[in-house]
């Protein structure tokens, strides 16, 4: 397999990566008009979880540690908190609490709902901030970023809360919302609280980078499966170690356990933290370039997911790889896109 630089015209690369299709990561079937009222709440640091004990979407009543809170609720809160601390603390990703997009935000608000109220999904993260629900532990002026988690989900066995927390990081850092970026990178992030290491790799970590046009054409059509052909290979190729030391994490995060005593960070291993952080930072710069090149008047949900974004996203990835000392061939934004 040959590298792109000097062998394949850039126009072919453009056509390949623009061949993707629009698929929203938050696309759902029609939701019920009336949702269950979530009267109960639980607070863990800056994470606020709202839930119900009865009827549709009721949480599990199991309370192994006998603290008066459903273990399911407590464990969701702890995983969300741990994911935020891992990425925005230990690994220094851009913190959504400090982003221009989410000004004034000081908490994460989580609703635990029946999966049927969420279009059959295990979780949804929303890209707009809002006023937080008023609770005794809070302030009427509090603002929050928001997600919903399925009441059928056991967070000790499922890392969806980590996935959705990472979406909030992505939303705070960049305007781009193309699915192969959003879902594939969030799947990589799941390994931060998972226990299976880096996961499956279906493309050589050695490249060639950029990938050939045939690969780029397929990549742009992908959702979460892009993890295996882009994000995991990049992680493995730039980080042989991946161990998360107590010194890096801090004692509270390193020792945090679920209600049953099992660790929230299950294997304390995540390859690629530095390069993924650099990619997110590059994307925060590159969306400004795309906004100017594509002569946009404002960011909308449609143009955040537009096919024209794909070369800009890929260039940010290649630039970050190059900065990590990886051998990367030519990849520039084609002139015909700069309309």
Considering just the CA atoms, what is the radius of gyration of the chain in Å? 20
pLDDT tops 70 at residue 33: no
- Direct distance between the N- and C-terminal alpha carbons of the chain, in angstroms, rounded to an integer: 33
Per-residue pLDDT at 146 exceeds 50:
yes
Supply the DSSP string of 186-254, one letter for each residue: HHHHHTTT-SSTT----S-TT--SSPPHHHHHHHTT-STTHIIIIIHHHHHHH-S--B--HHHH-HHHH
Q: How much is the average pLDDT of 183-190?
A: 98
Q: Using the predicted structure, report yes or no on whether residue 8 has a pLDDT greater than 90.
A: no
User: What is the pLDDT averaged over residues 10-21?
Assistant: 45
Query: Residue 40 pLDDT more than 70?
Result: yes
Q: 210 in the Ramachandran plot: left (φ > 0), alpha (ψ -120 to 50) or beta?
A: beta
pLDDT grade, residue 339 (50/70/90)? low
In which band, very low, low, confident or very high, does the pLDDT at 18 lie, cut at 50, 70 and 90? very low
Please state whether the peptide bond connecting residue 210 to the residue before it is cis, i.e. omega within 30 degrees of 0: yes
pLDDT digits (tens, 9 = 90+) for 102-132: 999 999 999 999 999 999 999 999 999 999 9
Q: What average pLDDT is seen over the chain? A: 91
Instruction: Report, as an integer, the average pLDDT of 144-154.
Output: 98
Average pLDDT over residues 323-339: 84
Other beta carbons less than 10 A from residue 339's beta carbon = 8
The pLDDT > 90 percentage for the chain reads 85
pLDDT at 35 (0 to 100): 87
- Percent pLDDT > 70 in the chain is 89
Sign of the Cα pseudo-torsion (227, 228, 231, 235, in order): positive
Per-residue pLDDT for 32 more than 60? Answer: no
Quick one: pLDDT band at residue 333, thresholds 50, 70, 90? Answer: confident
* C-alpha span between 177 and 297 (Å, rounded): 17
Confidence of residue 230 (pLDDT cuts 50, 70, 90): very high
User: How far is it, in rounded angstroms, from Cα 324 to Cα 229?
Assistant: 19
- Give residue 13's pLDDT: 46
> For 158-167, what is the mean pLDDT?
98
The whole-number pLDDT of residue 19 equals 45
**190/27: higher pLDDT:** 190
pLDDT for res 196? 84
**What are the helix (H) ranges across the chain?**
10-17, 71-84, 160-173, 179-190, 213-219, 226, 232-238, 246-249, 251-255, 273-293, 301-304, 310-323
Residues 68 and 146 sit within 8 Å (Cβ to Cβ): no
The ranges assigned to domains in the chain are 10-21+33-337
> 3 by DSSP, 3-state: which?
coil
Q: How confident is the model at residue 80 (pLDDT cuts 50, 70, 90)?
A: very high
Give the residue-averaged pLDDT of 203-210: 96
258-276 mean pLDDT? 97
């Amino acid at each position: 397999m040959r590298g792109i630089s000097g062998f394949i015209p850039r126009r072919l690369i453009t056509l390949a990566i623009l061949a993707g299709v629009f698929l929203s990561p938050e696309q759902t079937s029609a939701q019920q008009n009336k949702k269950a009222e979530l009267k109960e709440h639980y607070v863990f640091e800056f994470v606020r979880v709202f839930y119900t004990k009865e009827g549709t979407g009721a949480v599990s009543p199991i309370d192994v540690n006998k603290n008066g809170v459903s273990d399911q609720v407590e464990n969701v809160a702890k995983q969300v908190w741990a994911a935020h601390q891992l990425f925005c603390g230990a690994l220094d990703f851009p913190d959504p609490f400090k982003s221009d997009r989410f000004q004034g935000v000081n908490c994460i608000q989580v609703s635990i709902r029946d999966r049927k109220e969420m279009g059959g999904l295990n979780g949804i993260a929303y890209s707009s901030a809002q006023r937080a629900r008023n609770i005794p532990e809070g302030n009427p002026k509090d603002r929050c970023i928001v997600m919903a988690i399925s009441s059928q989900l056991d967070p000790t066995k499922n890392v969806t809360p980590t996935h959705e927390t990472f979406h909030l990081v992505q939303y705070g850092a960049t305007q781009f919302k193309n699915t192969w970026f959003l879902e594939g990178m969030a799947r990589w992030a799941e390994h931060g609280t998972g226990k299976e290491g880096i996961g499956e790799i279906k493309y050589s970590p050695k490249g060639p980078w950029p990938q050939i046009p045939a690969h780029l054409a397929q990549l742009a059509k992908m959702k979460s499966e892009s993890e295996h052909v882009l994000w995991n290979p990049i992680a493995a190729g730039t980080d042989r170690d991946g161990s998360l030391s107590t010194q890096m994490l801090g004692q509270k995060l390193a020792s945090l356990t679920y209600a049953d005593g099992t660790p929230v960070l299950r294997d304390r291993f995540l390859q690629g933290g530095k390069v993924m952080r650099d990619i997110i930072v590059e994307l925060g710069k590159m969306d400004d370039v795309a906004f100017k090149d594509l002569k946009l008047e404002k960011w909308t949900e449609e143009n955040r997911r537009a096919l024209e974004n794909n070369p800009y996203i890929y260039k940010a990835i290649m630039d970050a790889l190059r900065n990590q000392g990886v051998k990367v061939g030519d990849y520039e934004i084609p002139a015909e896109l700069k309309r």
